[in-house]
Amino acid sequence: MDKILLAHGDGGLLTHRLIEEIFVREFGSDILGEMGDAAGIECGKKIAFATDSFVVSPIFFPGGDIGKLACAGTVNDLSVYGSKPRFLSVSFILEEGTPMEDLIKVARSLGETARFAGVKIAAGDTKVVEKGKGDKIYINTAGVGEMLDNFSQAHKIKTGDAIIVSGNIGDHGAAIISRRAGIDFESVIKSDCAPLNHIIVPLWEAYEGIRLMRDPTRGGVATTLKEIAMQASKDFLIYEELLPFDPQVRSAAEVLGLDPLYLANEGKFIAVVDAAIAGEVVNFIRRFPEGENAAVIGEVLEGRGDVKVKTPLGGTKLLDMLTGEQLPRIC
Amino acid sequence: MDKILLAHGDGGLLTHRLIEEIFVREFGSDILGEMGDAAGIECGKKIAFATDSFVVSPIFFPGGDIGKLACAGTVNDLSVYGSKPRFLSVSFILEEGTPMEDLIKVARSLGETARFAGVKIAAGDTKVVEKGKGDKIYINTAGVGEMLDNFSQAHKIKTGDAIIVSGNIGDHGAAIISRRAGIDFESVIKSDCAPLNHIIVPLWEAYEGIRLMRDPTRGGVATTLKEIAMQASKDFLIYEELLPFDPQVRSAAEVLGLDPLYLANEGKFIAVVDAAIAGEVVNFIRRFPEGENAAVIGEVLEGRGDVKVKTPLGGTKLLDMLTGEQLPRIC
């Protein structure tokens, strides 16, 4: 069978075949038991729980695909929250007629990413909708992690703390939008889509002075900073010249009339840390290929939740949350 | 704003408003913290983890809606597995242009069902897809439960065990299909859609002789029995005259040319139990309105996974899994 049929979603023989012949194989050794409706899992006493649905279009893009993204997204949500990701559930909503080959590629990529991240796939589900009631492949992942002793708490943020970003800003958004627009820049812009628990979990464990981490996905770095500042009831001062960008992403954003601070990232995190350890934390992150452009980008001031960007010429602008659609179906 | 816009899914201001003005309000007191990307939750040491996506069409149907269904489905998966449902994640994939009123009704219904079932909504997500790339509202729920000492294990099933169904068979499937076909029977057929943890969890706790429970959703009682028989490597003998049906559901199935044993149930469970306690278990279930038609329907024989139905005239037919689509988007 080379196309998804409605019957692949009926819970009967074809659904079973899909699970046995594709999901069990492609998710590989990181699948738990029989991938049934529920799974019993051993976990630390306090657990973290996260969910995300992924509807990115196109499902394959430079640097990744919806399978890799669906795994990385939830792994990163759990990690920045302050937990060690352990288990994922994976649920597909497939459009009738989607090439089986696409589903296999996506499942393979999700399985590989889960193995890299060290998370087990514990439960799953598959639904099929009629042609024209979906768009190829939508995936929901939910995840369970073991809470760490240190974890994200906005109220721990203090005036004088440093704000760090783990690398270049806006790569995922720029990759998707230039792929969609069919625009070719000097070279293809790649999404940063990647699980980061191998960097984030050791950071939580090594540095008590980490107050909070967050992954700046939809809405970008700007929206995420605004959310954190409001939760912490502090102002953030960001220095524009410290923001790390791939020059190609910056030109792509310019051509497309977009602000890269509002472009989604899928393999980056923001950390607010005690200024005393900021240098050490940046050096730690830079040791990983995913973090080679990590940088301190600003500091925490007294205030009530404003995010101010200082331009090299000395001006200051306020950043707000994303309003209106910059880019639908970015993740 | 009375319609879903693409911008409701951009992670920015409108997404925040949707969460604050609809989800927090409608999910009510059973929402945990800020409904962010992840939640830290206290749970027993061994936990159960389940997921399900819901794409039922229509989203409102006699006896329920996609919100109630999305809560009940995962609560029941966790319960029959042998856990006490504690936390849910809720993730929406909304079609651009869906009336906001529909989303509010669905969120309200999900919130009410969660309160009834005693589960907290711990994490959430919202994505919006363009008109024609979805169908109003799709919902994924994942759930976490505390594992009970006694839980579903197919290998515990013994020859001589009794097979119980908790009530009338096929109500959900019949409700959806007659609603879709626009067929009116004597009275409207209602879905049985309901969370059953208040019946199932006490059963696990009261009777060590319960071997396994399962909810016969997609694929119906027939597919579920076949799955269990194969996992247990036993034959099941079902007595046709013992099967409880609402007479209306039976006539609807006949008119529509469907076998009610393959129609989905969303508020029923199958239990395989020590024959010695079968009577007691049935009486226990019958005390609840959702279980007033509970009955022993058959017994476990030596064998290799066949499900045989004995007709009142003495004939025997084999039940297999559902093959081919009986009914897409039933749940």
Residue of A nearest to B218 (CA): A11
Query: How far is Cα A56 from Cα A100, in angstroms, rounded to an integer?
Result: 18
Query: How far is Cα A90 from Cα A122, in angstroms, rounded to an integer?
Result: 8
**Tens digit of each residue's pLDDT (9 = 90 or more) over A310-320:** 999 999 999 98
- The answer to whether residue A39 neighbours chain B at the CB level (below 8 Å) is yes
* pLDDT at B155 > cutoff 90: yes
- The answer to whether residue B218 neighbours chain A at the CB level (below 8 Å) is yes
Residues B265, B214 contacting (CB under 8 angstroms): no
CA B115 to chain centre: 17
Residues of chain B found within 8 Å of residue A47, distances taken between Cβ atoms = 40-43, 47, 144
Helices and strands in chain B, H and E counts = 9, 14
Tell me the percentage of chain A whose pLDDT exceeds 90.
75
**Tens digit of each residue's pLDDT (9 = 90 or more) over A266-287:** 999 999 999 999 999 999 999 9
* pLDDT at A82 > cutoff 60: yes
- The answer to whether residue B13 neighbours chain A at the CB level (below 8 Å) is yes
Q: What mean pLDDT value characterizes chain B? A: 91
Residue of A nearest to B42 (CA): A46
* pLDDT at B106 > cutoff 90: yes
Query: How far is Cα A164 from Cα A152, in angstroms, rounded to an integer?
Result: 14
Mean pLDDT, range A37-65, rounded to an integer: 87
Return the pLDDT at A37: 64
Residue of B nearest to A46 (CA): B42
- The answer to whether residue A12 neighbours chain B at the CB level (below 8 Å) is yes
Contact A127 B329 (CB under 8 A): yes
Query: How far is Cα A231 from Cα A220, in angstroms, rounded to an integer?
Result: 17
* pLDDT at A180 > cutoff 60: yes
What are the start-end ranges of the H helices in A87-216?
100-117, 171-181, 197-206
Residues of chain A found within 8 Å of residue B124, distances taken between Cβ atoms = 51
DSSP lists the bridge partners of residue A299 as: A162, A237
| Lowest mean pLDDT segment, chosen from A227-231, B30-34, B187-191 | B30-34
Residues of chain A found within 8 Å of residue B46, distances taken between Cβ atoms = 40-43
Residue of B nearest to A81 (CA): B38
Strands (E) located in A159-257? 162-165, 210-214, 234-239
A248: DSSP letter: H
Residue of B nearest to A41 (CA): B47
Of A9, A40, A325, the CB nearest to B46: A40
DSSP lists the bridge partners of residue B237 as: B299, B308
Of A14, A16, A321, the CB nearest to B16: A321
Contact B219 A12 (CB under 8 A): yes
Contact B53 A89 (CB under 8 A): no
* pLDDT at B214 > cutoff 70: yes
Query: How far is Cα A54 from Cα A60, in angstroms, rounded to an integer?
Result: 13
Contact B329 A219 (CB under 8 A): no
* pLDDT at A34 > cutoff 60: no
Q: Which residue has the tokens 């559930």?
A: A89
Name the token pair of B34.
């800020």
Cα-Cα end-to-end distance for chain B: 29
Query: How far is Cα B121 from Cα B111, in angstroms, rounded to an integer?
Result: 8
**Tens digit of each residue's pLDDT (9 = 90 or more) over B294-329:** 999 999 999 999 999 999 999 999 998 887 666 789
Residues A93, B53 contacting (CB under 8 angstroms): yes
Residue A274 zone, left/alpha/beta (φ > 0; ψ -120 to 50; rest):
beta
Contact A123 B142 (CB under 8 A): yes
Residue of B nearest to A82 (CA): B40
Q: Which helix (H) or strand (E) holds A310?
A: strand A307-310
Return the pLDDT at B321: 86
Query: How far is Cα A75 from Cα A166, in angstroms, rounded to an integer?
Result: 16
Tell me the percentage of chain B whose pLDDT exceeds 70.
94
Residues of chain A found within 8 Å of residue B145, distances taken between Cβ atoms = 38
Name the token pair of A68.
């890799």
Return the pLDDT at A181: 81
Residue of B nearest to A42 (CA): B46
Return the pLDDT at A24: 78
Query: How far is Cα A111 from Cα A71, in angstroms, rounded to an integer?
Result: 8
Of A38, A49, A328, the CB nearest to B39: A49
**Tens digit of each residue's pLDDT (9 = 90 or more) over A146-176:** 999 999 999 999 999 999 999 999 999 999 9
Return the pLDDT at A29: 59
| Contacts for B254 with CB less than 8 Å, ≥ 6 apart | none
Tell me the percentage of chain B whose pLDDT exceeds 90.
75
Q: Which residue has the tokens 């010429």?
A: A313
* pLDDT at B115 > cutoff 60: yes
Spell out the domains of chain B, with CATH numbers in brackets.
Answer: 6-147 (3.30.1330.10), 154-319 (3.90.650.10)
For A239, the 3-state DSSP assignment is: strand
Return the pLDDT at B238: 98
* pLDDT at B290 > cutoff 90: yes
Look at residues B260, B84, B126, B290 and name the one whose alpha carbon lies nearest to residue A140: B126
B255 pLDDT band, cuts 50/70/90, is: confident
Strand A83-95 to A120-129 pairing: parallel
Cα-flanking dihedrals φ and ψ of residue A133, to 5°? -115, 10
Contact B45 A43 (CB under 8 A): yes
Q: What share of chain B is helix, strand, coil (3-state, %, to 5)?
A: 35, 25, 35
Contact B218 A11 (CB under 8 A): yes
CA B264 to chain centre: 9
Tell me the percentage of chain A whose pLDDT exceeds 70.
93
A187 pLDDT band, cuts 50/70/90, is: confident
- The answer to whether residue A243 neighbours chain B at the CB level (below 8 Å) is no
A329: DSSP letter: T
* pLDDT at A44 > cutoff 70: no
In this predicted model, which residue has the larger pLDDT, B185 or B227? Answer: B227
ipTM given for this complex = 0.92
Please report the DSSP string for B19-54 in residue order: IIIIIHHHHGGGB-TT--SEEEEE--SEEEEEEEEE
Contact B5 A321 (CB under 8 A): no
Residues B270, B145 contacting (CB under 8 angstroms): no
In this predicted model, which residue has the larger pLDDT, A87 or B43? Answer: A87
Please identify among residues 154-213 of chain B the ones whose CB lies closer than 8 Å to any CB of chain A.
none
Amino acid in the structure at residue A329:
R
